[in-house]
Amino acid sequence: MYFEISEERQKTHYGGNMKEFIDLRSDTVTQPTPAMRKAMAGAKVGDDVFGEDPTVNALQEKVASLLGKEGAIFVPTGTMANQLSIKSHTQPGDEVVIEASSHAYNFEGGATGALSGVQFYLVNGVRGIMEPSSIEEAIRPLDHHFPVTKLVCLENTHNRGSGSVYPIEKMRNIYELAQNRGLRVHLDGARLWNAAVATGVKPHEYAQYADSVSVCLSKGLGAPMGSLVSGSKTFIDRVHRFRKMFGGGMRQAGIVAAAGIYALDHHVKRLQEDHQNAKRLAMGLKDMKGTSINPDHVETNIVIFDISQTGKTASQIVEAMKEERVLILATGKTLIRLVTHLDVTREDIEIALKRFRKVLG
Ligand SMILES: Cc1ncc(COP(=O)(O)O)c(C=O)c1O
């Protein structure tokens, strides 16, 4: 039995259940808090396919305003938000410039080829961040042999880049380049809130350098589901059409939109705690036998480290940590990812580090 979480926290945060595991696999594993559930239960709802759900409409207006865009549209997942954006910016046969370790290229089930009929041109970044010069090299000449380069996709923060933040200046340079070359920019901002909290740059300041932005409510913000795409009115109208086509038109979705509004009102500032916890994890891991990690590279809530010098594989360490009631993720043969979030306290981090010390010897 696991007794290390205070009784009070169990009651308020885990619905009275014993917390068996410290779950560092992802920031998507959070449970809605009692206050969030209350907001959901009391939400006014209507049929959102008819545009009649007042809570969905309020969420869309709120996000459009936070991102400084004309409109926003609520969709079930971050994957759908990215794929609808790509679909709405392109025609079959076009090419999309994207970083090689990005989410939309690697972890969305090949959706872009299947649903939009476009191909990716991969650019290597440094922890996911691309140089404008590399993007410029990727743009195809206007020649009928080549696909038409139509879109550049950025990811901020960058998941596989260990939660790295795009410097705002770099985004500006990329956006100017794209405008000069007649390209559109889509920003996968699943964790844009983390970037904003880490740097003090406002979400709308990042968003001004993208034609469309997808943001998630179900990651660090702790809502049970939901993402939004934002952009110009004309663009959102196009996304609305494809949302229906992709099967993402929801009905009384205000129930979940209310969780998103609650999360935006109450869970953004506290992301700072997740960032501090991630840094603490990185500092602790740095001193352990066989690990390789640079804590300076941990800018937000994602920690990725190498364990090749331990003589074990990442999967073996995942299994050993599971025995110790800490859940972590192998993202390569010798790479492990940890993500901090709403349901992980500083106390949990210290316990997890103790258990890592035990497992890594
Ligand atoms: C950067 C990024 N984009 C998009 C997504 C997709 O979100 P969803 O799981 O809601 O489809 C994720 C999920 O973790 C992500 O990390």
pLDDT attached to residue 181: 98
List the alpha helices (DSSP H) in 101-167: 103-106, 111, 132-138
Q: What is the mean pLDDT of the chain?
A: 95
pLDDT at 10 over 60: no
Phi, psi of 149, deg, nearest 5? -70, 125
pLDDT attached to residue 84: 98
Distance CA 128, CA 160 (A): 7
Rounded to the nearest angstrom, the distance between the alpha carbon of 190 and the centre of ligand 1 is 6
pLDDT at 18 over 70: no
Peptide bond between residue 157 and the one before it cis (omega within 30 degrees of 0):
yes
Q: How sure is the predictor about 2, in pLDDT bands with cuts at 50, 70 and 90?
A: very low
Rounded to the nearest angstrom, the distance between the alpha carbon of 191 and the centre of ligand 1 is 9
With b for 16 or more beta-carbon neighbours within 10 A and e for fewer, the 27-52 pattern comes to bbbbbbbeebbebbeebebbebeeee
How many angstroms separate the Cα of 12 from the Cα of each of 4, 16, 35, 39, 259? 15, 7, 10, 16, 17
Phi, psi of 147, deg, nearest 5? -65, 160
% the chain with pLDDT above 90? 94
* Ligand 1 interacting residues, C-beta cut-off 6 A: 77-79, 82, 103, 155, 159, 188, 190, 216, 218, 227
Q: Which of 84, 217, 219, 221 to mutate to test the pocket of ligand 1 (most atoms within 8 A of CB)?
A: 219
Rounded to the nearest angstrom, the distance between the alpha carbon of 227 and the centre of ligand 1 is 9
How many angstroms separate the Cα of 346 from the Cα of each of 23, 148, 277, 343, 352? 13, 49, 6, 10, 10
Q: Output the pTM of the full model.
A: 0.94
Rounded to the nearest angstrom, the distance between the alpha carbon of 28 and the centre of ligand 1 is 9
Phi, psi of 76, deg, nearest 5? -65, -40
Q: What's the mean pLDDT in 176-188?
A: 98
pLDDT in tens, 287-319: 999 999 999 999 999 999 999 999 999 999 999
Q: How sure is the predictor about 208, in pLDDT bands with cuts at 50, 70 and 90?
A: very high
pLDDT in tens, 32-91: 999 999 999 999 999 999 999 999 999 999 999 999 999 999 999 999 999 999 999 999
Rounded to the nearest angstrom, the distance between the alpha carbon of 226 and the centre of ligand 1 is 11
pLDDT in tens, 137-173: 999 999 999 999 999 999 999 999 999 999 999 999 9
pLDDT at 16 over 60: no
